[in-house]
Amino acid sequence: MIWNPNKECMSRDEMHALQSKRLQKLVTYVYHNVPFYRNKMQAMDLSPEDIRSIDDIVKLPFTTKQDLRDNYPYGLQAAPASEIVRVHASSGTTGNPTIVGYTRKDLAVWSEVMARCLTAYGVTREDTFSVAYGYGLFTGGLGAHYGVENLGATVIPTSTGNTEKHIRLIRDLKVSGIACTPSYALYLAETLDKMGLTKEDIGLRIGAFGAEPWTENMRKEIEERLGLKGYNIYGLSEIMGPGVSYECQEQNGSHICEDHFYPEIINPDTLEQLPRGQQGELVFTTLTKEGMPLLRYRTKDLCTLMEGKCACGRTAVRMGRIMGRSDDMLIIRGINVFPSQVESVILEMKEFEPQYMLVVDRVNNLDTLQVQVEVRRDFFTDDIGSMLGMKKRLADRLKSVLSISADVKLMEPGSIERSQGKGKHVIDNRILK
């Protein structure tokens, strides 16, 4: 099913025309309402009239997370305070949090794009859907919530916490779909086991998983343990929240709601736009946003864009799986390491739980990487030789994938901290000078 065939299946020419029109309008709007953008454009000797089509987007300045911090709290807001009806904020682990104000129309667009996602996953008005993203400043909870309501399904605003109660609700209210982080989905599966229940007892059918990078192997693991089909949902609070892109039944990349969020891939070093198919940093321009519109926002997410009509009928550009946020990339002894690579290896080996932690340190000026992993109860044996063999198999596999050696540490099952929100997979103890 397709929620909005007019937009989701638009011909490329029509989309190009729509995007061009919207970009011109957007640039005029920010030029007159956001001093930050006006100053930047004037410094580049650029006026709104120079933007004639979407292809002129390369002339426009970029926006970074640092720009949002520097203009805390409302410096990038374009709409007057009287038009803002809601504010979300991203977790500011370092420095100021990012504040995003939404107008009534922004919220309508958001629940529209969320309804597109949910429909693509197969959610209908008959479904009961649990939103287990955190409700609050984080965009996950409320964003998904209003999408489910807009679609007309029944929403259970579970949020996070009290997982046993959540599982009982899923069973008793015949909940068929759930939105949460992949980390939480795994925690849900573990709790299910502990309660002595099976996936058949709860009957989940659809999972909308996002808010953190996850691998194909993680998808298989979650699908197997919860008995559902897992779909990727992508979004970021600076642009909107969940619903920026979504997988369809084909699961060949995530369709971007291009009529609202214009994607580009750039080379993060030269800032040049790259042709479709090449990997680089994902950049979004919010074509229709009123509250805090952004020009060419650098997401730091690394992926590729794919063109071509999908077998599902949608025509929108698709983004490949996120390799990782460039912020998540570790440089260990000069080699780039993504936690997702380690995840993929661990999930290939049935001896280990899908929980892991990378501990990076520097000893005598040499970087060290320790990979902590939990041994599955069924694979524990009294024979120390087999246990060491298990450890060596993982170390060898990691070395061939990462090109650096990692020290594997076998941990007791259940000993690595479980996350109900975004999973934490890295502890970096290096003091970099």
Partner 1 sequence: MTIKQVSVFLENKTGRINEVTKILSQHGINMHAFSMAETPDFGILRLIVSDADKAAEILRGADFAVMLTDVIHLHCPNEAGALGKILEQLATAEVSIEYMYAFAEGDIANIVVRPTDIERCEKAIGC
Q: What does the per-residue mask of binding to partner 1 show for 182-221, with x meaning CB under 8 A?
A: ----------------------------------------
Q: Select 52 or 409, whichever has its Cβ closest to partner 1.
A: 409
CA–CA gap between residue 233 and residue 333 (Å, rounded): 33
Contacts of 292 (CB under 8 A, 6+ apart): 76, 77, 78, 79, 100, 101, 238
Q: Is 331 in the site for partner 1 (CB under 8 A)?
A: no
CB of 392 to partner 1, least distance (A): 12
Token pair recorded at residue 35: 């001093």
The interface with partner 1 within residues 77-136 (CB under 8 A) comprises none
Residues 360 and 367 sit within 8 Å (Cβ to Cβ): yes
Which of 238/374 has CB closer to partner 1?
Answer: 374
**What letter does residue 272 receive in the DSSP assignment?**
P
- Which residue bears the tokens 């929100």? 421
- Nearest to partner 1 of 187, 246 (CB atom): 187
- C-alpha 173/C-alpha 160 separation (Å) is 18
- Rounded to whole angstroms, the Cα distance separating 144 from 208 reads 9
Q: Which of 414, 424, 427, 429 binds partner 1 (CB under 8 A)?
A: 414
DSSP code, position 213: -
- What is the nearest approach in angstroms of partner 1 to the Cβ of residue 417? 14
**415, 424, 427, 429: which one contacts partner 1 (CB under 8 A)?**
415
CA distance 329 to 332: 9
Q: Could you tell me the smallest distance in angstroms from the CB atom of residue 381 to partner 1?
A: 6
Whole-angstrom distance, CA of residue 131 vs CA of residue 348: 29
CA-CA distance, 238 to 201, in Å (whole number)? 39
Q: Which of 137, 349, 395, 410 binds partner 1 (CB under 8 A)?
A: 410
Q: x/- contact string, 350-389, with partner 1 (CB under 8 A)?
A: -------------------------x-x--xxxxx--xx-
Which residue lies nearer to partner 1 by CB, 107 or 395?
A: 395
Q: Which residues bind partner 1 (CB under 8 A)?
A: 375, 377, 380-384, 387-388, 409-415
